[in-house]
Structure 1
Amino acid sequence: MARDQIDMTPLESRDELVAWIAAGVKPESEFRIGTEHEKTPFTLDGHEPVPYAGAKGIGALLEGMKLLLGWEPIMERGNIIGLYDVTGGGAISLEPGGQFELSGAPVETVHQTQSELMAHLAQVREIATPLGIGFLGLGMTPSWSREQIPVMPKGRYKIMRNYMPKVGKYGLDMMFRTCTVQTNLDFSSEADMVKKLRVSLALQPVATALFANSPFTEGKPNGFLSFRSEIWRDTDNARSGMLPFAFEDGMGFERYVDYALDVPMYFVKRGEDYIDVSGSSFRDFFAGKNKAFPGQRPTLSDWANHLSTIFPEVRLKRYLEMRGADGVPWGRLPALPAFWVGLLYDNDSLDAAWDIVRHWTAPERQALRDDVPRFGFKARIKDRYLFEIAKECLILSHAGLRRRGRIDHLGRDESRFLEPLERIIETGRSPAEEMLEKFNGAWKGSVEPAYSEYAF
């Protein structure tokens, strides 16, 4: 969630950086589930991008949400750019092209994730519909060019916008045209973090295939099932990817800190100002060698902000963030936290998942990750199709959720949220393949029907 941290204590030693992450360790009884999802706003009339300014813009939408919810506004230079729920811990923020993100509060069960989502969508509709705004649940905008998309008034995005084209082909597409759903999960020790990180990194392509949902660019099939996932392969490889070092001996909080120290920075925030330090490492800043801050050392806030600009397939902060899935329509959103909770929060399933991936090599994991955007379930690792692995993971997740035994008021456990994924496995087709079939059939070669069929 892009809400910048404020703690201006200068850092003295690398140990403090490690301690900041290690502070995320909590007992299993305190494990929570956080779900973040992005959706693309569009004008109901004409299916155009929605600008920030104006009586029917994104700013007006946020002002309306503020009045409805009573949440604290997040302001930047006089513009409302987000909302924060002081009591529950949830937030609403804007991505660079106006993608509307709900960072859910940390909750105990997937049932609560579902209730939070339904409440959020009802609230958003109440404000957005009179403004003529709808929301799309796809991994990428299906019909707009990059030039058409308005820029949100956030300082950090201006710096990223200038830097991205220097380090990859698709960075601007990532910023302005993609949407994702993520789930954030806890760990009980350093060893538990390492095990969950390894399993979820290796299996992130499974989530990519199950949620693949971005087959169109500017109105035409783009040759991929998850073009959003393909975009991340050439956005900025110094800050993304499969973290091969995580599988090496000696992996732990310190090893991740050493990786993060060398990832190029984007910005340093002082007051309301974002100072462009793009391309320089946190390690140099830490040594007092940042050109913009000669002789100065970073603060804990600078560290927390820097960690939020690293984009591997699974990101370590004070929790683990699963980053491999496309944004999807609302009916499938709770399936993502359900899938990962079943695999990672149940020790038997976690052990069994580790057994699936433990013999894969770094080049094999990388090849799978490289193939999945185009081939989905037909990607292979060793002598197995990803489809078989996805099927096996779903069985493990289902069993894990059943053993967790978190029951709703109707006596149902969380495994019911896997139903959309189980249907995908039954048909053997990812959502993108289904959509391409519609495009070539009922939609008669147009992506316009997506704005009703895949809207929130």
Structure 2
Amino acid sequence: MLDSDFSPMNQEDCLADLHVRLFSQKKSKTDPLYSPGKVGLEQEAFSWLRDPKNGQALHPTSLYEGQRPIARLLWEKCQAFGAQGHQFGAEDSLRIDKISFASGDNFQFEPGGQVEIATAPYPSLIELERQLKWMQRILEEIQEENPVTFAQIGTHPFFTGEEIGLQLPKPRYRHLQGYFNSLHPAGQQMMLQTCSQHINLDLGEEEETQQLRIGVAQVICPLLTAIFANSPTMERKNSGKKSLRSTLWKNLDSKRTGFWIPEKGDFSKKGWVEAYAQMAFQAPLMNVKGVDDRWFGEKITWAYWLENEIEDRKPTFSDWENHLSLLFPQVRMKGFLEVRATDALPRTWQLVPAAFLSGIFYSPHSLQAVWELLAPKMNSLNLLCQKASDGLMDDEIFRIAKEIFRRAGDGLQSLPESFRSKEQIQLLESYFEHFTAKRRTPAEELLEKLSSNKPLIY
């Protein structure tokens, strides 16, 4: 990091910052000895008002307007637990966009009014599950006391982007909307009509472990999309895909989404850092702080700004941080691994991806085995992602999914009992037997619920 957030940067500064801040991790003295690594989860949910008579969806909820604004309902619940509200906007129109707890857990809001549970990183799956259930219970109480449904699904099954609208009008999101709308209709759909689940995992201390985990995180993403697909519908129509959300992201902006693969197969840590930097340098500027709601065109990239002034100034560290936060690859580096390939899942199953990945990443034997299995696929990840949007229909994806599920189960079993419970191992096995072994995903189950015309309540 530079001595000043406001000092002009060059390419060497950017590379040094990535290496030290985003691609390094030191074990904290307070980390429990039993923990093979920390794990966190970000889970998004749609909300809508439902008919109290038959439970059917009536119209989208609003974050800040109307009789039951979601931000107010959630804030009223959370105050009893000593939560802190974080506001944005002018003094005459302050609005809460984040609710944080002393534990490090947060509720946050997304542009289309989606509610996000963002847990702190916990040293065990046991502790993660406890906190996740506690935060879900807060949403359940709101749902029980109001004609509001929270649905944890990858794409909105009912309402259009125009009906939902941009509900979080921060400058950042106005810039996002303008930028994406200029590129592809998927931009508005991604912002307003999708929900995902992110799994946050330790990078590790040893360089060999770091480069192996980064590689596995990249190459496993298409399999995660296929195994946990849960977004078959949008605007009351069957899309024909099991993970429409992944298709929308793929069509969005190839310069800031997808994968960052080192040239010439250099999977050393240096190779990974340089690949991430290359993605960041070539991504068009989406938002420059202090500049009105506009973007500068595809040719005005970070690399361009490093060499040329914009609005009479060169980029600073603060600009660099902002630019990095507006990259949306399948795996985002944050001093840990943020794996972003999974649709939002219903409560019953939403801990499974974290258990699945913990069993692979925190078991050295499983990590190495999965790398050896998937590394040959590194140059065909975009094709695999395309196939993964159909769930487990592709024969190759189905075969690999069963194999890595076995590796995940073996790895989870090998971890300390203080990290994972027997019930969590059983949950992972149940998911495999209920879905993957039968070549099914939650998307098929969701389609069955929607076709029955019963209230969709998770």
Q: Normalising to structure 2: TM-score of the pair?
A: 0.86
2:392 maps to a residue whose letter is F
Aligned Cα RMSD in Å? 2.5
Shift of 1:414: 4.2
Q: 2:198 aligns with which of 175, 182, 188?
A: 182
User: Which of 317, 327, 331 is the aligned partner of 1:314?
Assistant: 331
Give the share of equivalent positions with the same residue, in percent. Answer: 27
Question: Which of 3, 7, 10 is the equivalent residue of 1:10?
Answer: 7
Determine the C-alpha separation between the residues in 2 that align with 1:319 and 1:108.
14
The ranges of structure 1 where at least 4 consecutive aligned residues each deviate by more than 4 angstroms after the TM superposition are 27-30, 273-279, 437-440
Matches within 5 A, 1:270-419: 276-277=294-295, 279=297, 280-287=300-307, 289-292=308-311, 294-299=312-317, 301-362=318-379, 364-373=380-389, 375-380=390-395, 385-407=396-418, 412=422, 414-419=424-429
Report the 3-state secondary structure (helix = DSSP H, G, I; strand = E; otherwise coil) of the residue aligned with 1:378: coil
Cα distance, 1:177–1:66 mapped onto 2, change above 3 Å: same
Within 1, Cα distance between the matches of 2:337 and 2:26? Answer: 11
Query: Which residue does 1:125 correspond to in 2?
Result: 140
Residue 159, structure 1, aligned to residue 188, structure 2: no
Mapped partners of 2:107, 2:226: distance in 1: 27
Unaligned runs of 5+ in 1: 1-6
Task: Give the direction of change, closer, same or farther, for the CA distance of 1:242–1:296 in structure 2 (3 Å limit).
Answer: closer
Query: Map of 1:24-39 to 2, 5 A cutoff?
Result: 24-26=25-27, 31-39=37-45
Matched to 1:424, the amino acid is: F
Where does residue 3 of structure 1 map in the other structure? none
* Structure 2 counterpart SS, 1:358: helix
Aligned to 2:73: 61
CA contact (8 A) 2:262 2:272 kept: no
Distance in structure 1 (CA, Å) of the matches to 2:69 and 2:315: 40
Give the alignment of 1:198-217 within 5 angstroms: 198-217=215-234
Shift of 1:346: 1.0
Any conservation in 2 of the 1:208–1:325 contact (CA below 8 Å)? yes
Aligned to 2:443, which of 432, 436, 439?
432
What SS does the corresponding residue of 1:377 show, helix, strand or coil?
A: coil
State yes or no: 1:93 paired with 2:108: yes
Offset at 1:291? 1.9
CA contact (8 A) 2:197 2:340 kept: yes
Aligned match of 2:235 in 208, 218, 240? 218
> Conserved in 2, the CA contact under 8 Å of 1:204 and 1:313?
yes
2-structure distance, mates of 1:426, 1:81: 41
Conserved 8 A contact 1:265-1:306? yes
Distance 1:210 1:359 in 2: 20
Q: Report the alpha carbon displacement of residue 234 of structure 1 after superposing the two structures with TM.
A: 0.6
Cα shift at 1:397: 0.7
1:3-29, CA deviations, whole angstroms, 9 ceiling, x for partnerless residues?
xxxx83535423234322134354896
Count of residues in correspondence between the two structures? 428
Which deviations, in whole Å up to 9, do the C-alpha atoms of 1:13-50 show, x marking residues without a partner?
23234322134354896731110000001113252210
Q: Deviations over 1:227-249 (max 9, x none)?
A: 01111111111111132337721
The alignment's TM-score, normalised by the length of structure 1, stands at 0.86
Against the structure 1 CA distance between its residues 317 and 246, is the aligned structure 2 distance closer, same or farther, given a 3 Å change threshold? farther
CA distance in 2, matches of 1:115, 1:421: 19
Equivalent of 1:239 in 256, 260, 267: 256
Q: Secondary structure at the match of 2:117?
A: strand
